Each structure stands twice: as structure tokens, then as C-alpha cells.
């Protein structure tokens, strides 16, 4: 079987054969909100995975961003069937991947802070409550795309120090015109803006940068996580590179809202392998 997990930035795939031997692949991310079925299929066909043999490609468990609606789910199914001739393709959200990876068969609040963001209450089997992330344009609070968007906006509006702005333009060899083109004309603006997270991380002790990160996480808790208080739990677990990179700041903000962070994983994939082998 294939287990595929990812978002707009990258797609991690494991192929598990009949002896439970695992082979791993890393591909560029795919997202049915930003790409056509043909574009996503091309990404899969260009990978080395097509060289796999036997029944390993017959069943696919796909967890990814942009799979909340039937049209997008069907697009993902079609691209795997075309690329690998897979007979069964089960498509689930990246949020369910996070929940199964973090909790297995237990219940809890699962959250994603990566290129995008999301959260939900997991009952040990399914996500039973979800405050919609609303995607890059309307939500994704606390995510890499959200952080990058606010950083770039502040720099271009002259709201940061001149020194920070100079460092940004010098380090990324860019200018206003190039930024505007990447955000408004090219695909994956969220991925582009999330690419500035390393710049932010290196300067986390800078007062402006620290406030930017803390306020982004406050937005995430205020506009998303506070809703789950109805489940009488104050414990939450995270997956995603942003959550891992800024664990200290995230923990501080969580405590301000009365939550305790139990676990932070960069990716749920390793535990998803165990989950599907057991189930």
C-alpha cells in the first residue's frame, strides 16, 4: 500500500509491501485548490514511485491539504489512479493525518501549524468538530504562510526597522516587484510566503519578530482553538514545521489561553505507518 501525506509545500510518500518493508519518497507538494488534475498527475508520474512493482501501489491512503470538498477529493483520487493504476484510493484531510499520528485511537485536540494551519477535535476515530482554517486568503492563522504574509506586508509598508528590511532584501535577493508577482501572479503564494519562516526563526529574539510570531499564534488560539473548550479539555498536540520551530513561543501562547501542549511532531507520517499496519 501507499501512504501519502503532505500539503502545498511537499508530499511524503511511503510504499509498504506485503512483508511490511517500507520505502520512502519525497515529492513537491500537490493541492487541488491550486493545481489541475493533470498537473498533480504529472508530479506523481515524474517520481521514482512508478518503478514499484506488485500490489504495493494498489491501495492508497492519501492525507493532504485541500481535501475538504468532493470535487477536490475526486481530483486527488483520479491523479493517483492515472499515475499508478491504483485500484483503491482513500482521500482524507491532513488534519485527520495529524490526529491519527498524534493520538492513534485516543481522543484529543489536534492542530497543524505548517505552511497552512488547521485544527479539530478527534474522538479516537474521526474529526468530529473543526473550525475551518478557511485557507490562505481568509484564515491559516499562525501558519508559515500567515507569518510570511505579515512580515512582507510590514516590510513593504515600512512598519519594521530599516535594518530588518535591509537584511530581508539582501538575504533573499528580492524586491517589491518580485514579491508582488510571486504573491499575485504565480501559483502557491502561501508556499512562497512560508519560505520566509527561516528568516523569522533566525531573528526570533528581535522584538518586532518575536511580537509577530506571538501575535500570529494568539490569532490561531483566539480564532480557532478557543472553540474546543466545549470539550472540557485543555490539552492539545501539534504537527508541523512551524509548531516545531517555534515550540517555545507556542507553549507560552497556549498557556495564556489556558492550554497545555502535550506533543509536537514535525510530521505525523512515522506514526501513520504504524497506524495503518495495525489497522
> What are the domain boundaries of the chain?
2-96+269-278
Q: How many CA atoms lie within 13 A of 194 on its CB side?
A: 24
**Phi, then psi, of 114 in degrees rounded to 5:** -135, -135
pLDDT digits (tens, 9 = 90+) for 95-133: 999 999 999 999 999 999 998 999 999 999 999 999 988
pLDDT at 66: 66
C-alpha cell read off for 49: 514511485
Q: Read off the C-alpha cell for 220.
A: 490561531
What pLDDT shows up at residue 207?
97
Return the closest-CA partner of residue 208 out of 171, 66, 199, 102: 199
Spatial distance between the Cα atoms of 202 and 17, rounded to a whole number of angstroms: 41
Joined grid coordinates for residue 197: 519562516
Residue 109 near residue 239 (C-beta atoms within 8 A): no
Specify the pLDDT at position 259.
Answer: 94
pLDDT score of 157 = 97
Q: Dig out the grid coordinates for 166 from the structure.
A: 535591509
The CA distance from 75 to 91, in Å, is: 10
Residue 258: what pLDDT?
A: 93
Task: Write out the three cell numbers for 170.
Answer: 539582501
SS3 content of the chain, % helix, strand, coil (to 5): 50, 20, 30
Whole-number pLDDT of residue 51: 61
Burial class (CB in 10 A: 0-12, 13-18, 19+), 200: buried
pLDDT beneath 50: ranges in the chain: none
Helix or strand run (H / E) with residue 113: strand 108-113
Domain 2-96+269-278 -> CATH class: alpha beta
For residue 266, give the C-alpha cell.
514535525
For residues 145 and 23, what is the distance between their CA atoms, to the nearest angstrom? Answer: 30
pLDDT value, residue 257: 94
Amino acid at each position: 500500500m501507499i501512504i501519502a501525506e503532505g500539503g502545498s509545500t511537499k508530499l511524503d510518500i511511503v510504499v509498504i509491501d506485503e512483508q511490511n518493508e517500507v520505502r520512502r519518497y519525497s515529492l513537491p507538494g500537490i493541492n487541488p485548490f491550486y493545481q489541475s488534475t493533470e498537473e498533480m498527475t504529472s508530479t506523481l508520474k515524474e517520481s521514482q514511485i512508478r518503478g514499484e512493482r506488485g500490489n504495493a501501489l494498489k491501495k492508497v491512503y492519501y492525507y493532504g491539504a485541500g481535501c475538504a470538498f468532493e470535487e477536490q477529493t475526486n481530483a486527488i483520487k483520479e491523479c493517483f489512479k492515472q499515475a499508478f493504476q491504483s485500484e483503491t484510493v482513500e482521500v482524507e484531510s491532513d488534519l485527520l493525518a495529524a490526529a491519527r499520528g498524534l493520538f492513534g485511537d485516543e481522543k484529543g485536540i489536534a492542530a497543524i501549524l505548517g505552511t497552512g494551519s488547521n485544527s479539530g477535535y478527534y474522538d479516537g476515530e474521526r474529526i468530529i468538530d473543526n473550525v475551518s482554517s478557511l485557507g490562505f486568503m481568509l484564515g491559516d492563522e499562525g501558519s508559515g504562510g500567515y507569518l510570511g504574509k505579515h512580515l512582507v506586508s510590514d516590510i513593504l509598508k515600512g512598519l519594521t526597522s530599516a535594518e530588518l528590511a535591509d537584511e530581508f532584501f539582501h538575504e533573499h535577493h528580492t524586491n517589491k516587484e518580485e514579491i508582488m508577482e510571486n504573491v499575485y501572479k504565480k501559483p502557491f503564494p502561501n508556499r512562497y510566503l512560508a519560505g520566509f519562516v527561516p528568516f523569522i526563526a533566525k531573528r526570533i529574539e528581535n522584538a518586532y519578530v518575536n511580537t509577530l510570531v506571538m501575535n500570529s499564534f494568539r490569532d490561531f488560539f483566539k480564532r480557532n482553538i478557543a472553540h474546543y473548550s466545549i470539550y472540557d479539555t485543555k490539552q492539545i498536540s501539534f504537527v508541523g514545521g512551524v509548531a516545531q520551530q517555534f515550540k517555545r513561543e507556542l507553549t507560552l501562547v497556549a498557556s495564556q489561553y489556558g492550554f497545555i501542549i502535550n506533543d509536537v511532531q514535525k510530521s505525523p507520517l512515522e506514526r501513520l505507518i504504524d497506524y495503518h499496519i495495525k489497522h
